[in-house]
Amino acid sequence: MPAKILVSACLLGQPVRYDGKGKLLSHAALTRLQEEGRVVAFCPELAGGMSVPRPPAEIEAGLTGEDVLLGRARVLELTGGDVTSAFVAGAQKALAVTRESHCCHALLIDGSPSCGSISIYDGAFAGRRHAGSGVTAALLRQNGITVFAGHEIDRLMAELEVYL
């Protein structure tokens, strides 16, 4: 059976981001994966109970998704709300979906406090990023899922050739 890939719903153009928009990744390889029925679209923040639109949120104090999972960092909204539990719940649901769907790979949008896998915003809501993963990307990696950022799709496809 061809390997399936968990993909950030917003990368598929679904309007699930905090601002009510998507962020479509137009790429022939992604289209091919969709046509082959190998894409599992998922938005951890909606799965965790967040609504659209919602205030932007960042992991506090230059910390990372791993810190959130260890209980030593919170995810805070620009408006001050603590949405840590929703982000952790969304990550856990993402992991459950990868297991149910037999996904070994994920393609997630970078920068997000959930889906970021290379860099995330630093908690100051000033547009600055630092190296690190969001909560979902961190939990998936901790459980053996190989996570790629959207712009790394060519690397993902090269790795998937092994599974074709």
Residue 64 near residue 112, CB atoms below 8 Å: no
Stretch that binds ligand SF4, among 39-47, 71-79, 121-129, 146-154 (CB under 6 A): 39-47
Residue 105 near residue 84, CB atoms below 8 Å: no
User: From the list 5, 6, 17, 67, which residue makes contact with ligand SF4 (rule: CB under 6 A)?
Assistant: 17
User: From the list 73, 75, 89, 115, which residue makes contact with ligand SF4 (rule: CB under 6 A)?
Assistant: 115
8 makes contact with ligand SF4 (CB under 6 A): yes
R_g of the chain computed on alpha carbons: 15
16 makes contact with ligand SF4 (CB under 6 A): yes
User: From the list 5, 30, 43, 135, which residue makes contact with ligand SF4 (rule: CB under 6 A)?
Assistant: 43
Which residues lie closer than 8 Å to 57 by C-beta, 6 or more apart?
18, 75, 76, 77, 78, 81, 83, 87, 113
Q: Is 109 helix (H, G, I), strand (E, B) or coil?
A: coil
Residue 133 near residue 64, CB atoms below 8 Å: yes
Phi, psi of 109 (to 5 degrees): -70, 135
Stretch that binds ligand SF4, among 32-40, 41-49, 57-65, 153-161 (CB under 6 A): 41-49
10 makes contact with ligand SF4 (CB under 6 A): yes
DSSP output for 1-24 = -PPEEEEEGGGGT-S-STTS----
Minimum CB–partner distance for residue 82 and ligand SF4 (Å): 17
Stretch that binds ligand SF4, among 9-17, 26-34, 120-128, 154-162 (CB under 6 A): 9-17
114 makes contact with ligand SF4 (CB under 6 A): yes
Using CB under 6 A, list all residues that contact ligand SF4: 8-10, 16-17, 43-45, 109, 112, 114-115
